[in-house]
Amino acid sequence: MGPSEMPRVPSGDRASRKRQAIVRAAREAFVRDGFSAGMDTIAAEAGVSKVTVYNHFGSKEALFQVVIGAALEDALAAAVEGTAARLASREDLRDALVWTARAWVDAMTQPGMLALRHLVVNEVRRFPDLGAAWQRNGPSRAYPALAEAFGQLAAEGRLVMPDVELAIVQLYALVLYPHLVHSAYGVTLGADLTTGLIEHGVDMFLAYYQYVPVSGH
């Protein structure tokens, strides 16, 4: 098929509403039925034909990638914006990181988000792009704000951090990853343990990297 023969993705307000309805229906179907959710079912629940679903997305895998992106955007938009805003001043890094960790844990441990993550894990061998879509739209979105703040603080002599990328992975490991690991076994960490992981995890992180707070903080 040449470029002139490639099918066009429907456009316009009516097509946009259909697309949104398909994504909503697909998210509910994937969470409920797993990746085995049928395109016929998704189309019926969206109130469109199966042909319309394929016209918009082309394949179930492509639709699932869009569902992942939309779900993560819904869950993380406020966390990403808040992280960038709080790290911009760099005056109180501890408060900024505690807020960030709490926002990310709250967003990523929602039952629907955990269900989608488990689907990605189960299907990533067959469809490697699903894992890349999850990483791109999820934890990696905080990386630029964290990297910029850590880099500037290191340049100012307020952090001793020779490898910023490694440090960011370590921060995630302290405050977020325990929830994701335990969720794989159907275990939810309690509120007190969550608070301890966040606050003590941030303190351990800052102590290791020799954070120097602004006087008075």
Query: pLDDT tens digits for 33-66?
Result: 888 899 999 999 999 999 999 999 999 989 998 9
Contact 63, 119 (CB under 8 A): no
Q: Which residues contact 92 (CB under 8 A, 6 or more apart)?
A: 213, 214, 217
71-217 adopts what CATH topology? Answer: Tetracycline Repressor; domain 2 (1.10.357)
Count the helices and strands in the chain (H runs, E runs).
11, 0
CA distance 26 to 205: 39
Which part of the chain has CATH 1.10.10.60?
Answer: 1-58
Region 149-172 average pLDDT: 95
Considering Cα of 210, then 86, then 168, then 183, what sign does the dihedral take? positive
Q: With pLDDT > 90 as the criterion, what percentage of the chain qualifies?
A: 54
Rg over alpha carbons for the chain, rounded to the nearest Å, is 21
In this prediction, residue 5 carries a pLDDT of 43
Share of the chain above pLDDT 70, in %: 93
Q: Which residues contact 84 (CB under 8 A, 6 or more apart)?
A: 144, 145
Question: Domain 1-58 in CATH: superfamily?
Answer: Homeodomain-like (1.10.10.60)
Return d(Cα 60, Cα 66) in angstroms, integer: 10
* 55, burial (CB in 10 Å: exposed 0-12, middle 13-18, buried 19+): middle
Average of per-residue pLDDT values in the chain: 88
Residue partners of 69: CB distance under 8 A and separation at least 6: 133, 137
Place of tokens 């939810």: 188
Report d(CA 121, CA 117) in Å as an integer: 6
Burial class (CB in 10 A: 0-12, 13-18, 19+), 131: middle
Please give the pLDDT value at position 6: 39
pTM: 0.80
pLDDT of the residue at 10? 67
76 SS3 class: helix
If you average pLDDT over residues 205-211, what whole number do you get?
A: 97
Every domain range in the chain assigned CATH 1.10.357.10: 71-217
pLDDT (0 to 100) of residue 123: 86
The amino acid at 162: P
Neighbours of 37 (CB within 10 A): 22
